Copies of this chain bind each other. A is one copy, B any other.
Amino acid sequence: MSGKPAQKRVSAGVAAVDDRSVAARLFAILDAFAAPAGATSLTLTLTAIAQRAGLPLSTTHRLVAEWVGWGGLSKHENGQYSLGMKLWELGVQTPTARNLRTIALPYLEDLYETTREHVHLAILDGRDALYLEKLSGHHAVRLISRVGARLPLHSTGVGLVLLAYAPSDVVQQYLATSLQRFLPRTVTEPEAVRKRLAEIRLLGLARMSEEMTAGSSSIAAPIRDRTGQVVAAVSIVTRTTDTIDAEQERAVRVAAQGVSRALGYRRAQQ
């Protein structure tokens, strides 16, 4: 998630001592496996883990053995390591992910059936849109999104929706840093983004076109919980066309409302 801040404390200007607790070292080892971008999941050799985690080989060896013993990592025949099934098992039990997914999935399936397009479900996590679920058919457009991916808020449909309904200090902070331009049409100018957010709030829907991936557009809508707060966003990603497809927009709205209702939301107005 970050560079390599291998915390070293230089004592008396001679040797550099590693400050990290045992726990931090164990975590650093897992972090070594965090897939960088839209990349395929990693398998690493012991040495590679040691380098990425900034740990001596022997220490790595011992700690990796602990992970393997527990099931957090698994060792393959060829001597490479990868994330283990135990992590998956615990991971899917994470309440936010599990509850939202379980409730939303039937509606996402409906949306997929009626539109035959990529369907995304994402939440706001830190400064990113975190993709909880993704459904796609056999022949859909190639996308960088995948379950577990983190994508920017200003260049994705779900991201903009999440930002539109986020607390103002989050918006403030997000727009304070310079936003990356992925394609010519990516909107990166803070004031322009703010204007868009207002439109999205007004319309209850976001339309994006050619801002992250060439040739694809998206339509996204907010999901609210019992308290009316926006907790997630659904979207479909389609091949770009010049016309606005009212039918698709309706389908996305229906899906978002369905999930919201299932979460206990009873619309106040609108």
Contact = CB atoms under 8 A, between A and B. Distances in A.
A243 to B, nearest CB: 27
Contacts of A105: 135-136
Contacts of A125: 85
A255 interface: no
Contact of A109 (B22, B24, B33, B135): B135
Q: How many copies does the complex hold?
A: 2
A166 to B, nearest CB: 17
A95 B27 contact: no
Contacts of A26: 23, 26
Contacts of A97: 85, 88
A26 B69 CA distance: 13
A88 B148 contact: yes
Interface in A78-121: 82-85, 87-99, 101-102, 105-106, 109, 112-113
A237 interface: no
B135 A90 contact: no
A113 B109 CA distance: 9
A200 interface: no
Contacts of A138: 106
Contacts of A66: 21, 23-24, 27
Interface residues of A, number: 51
A254 B84 CA distance: 30
B23 A102 contact: no
Interface in A8-57: 21-24, 26-27, 30, 33-35, 41-43
Interface centre among A26, A66, A90, A130 (most CB of B within 10 A): A90
A209 B214 CA distance: 50
15 contacts: A22-B23, A23-B66, A23-B70, A27-B66, A34-B89, A34-B90, A41-B99, A82-B95, A85-B125, A87-B94, A88-B91, A88-B97, A89-B91, A101-B147, A109-B137
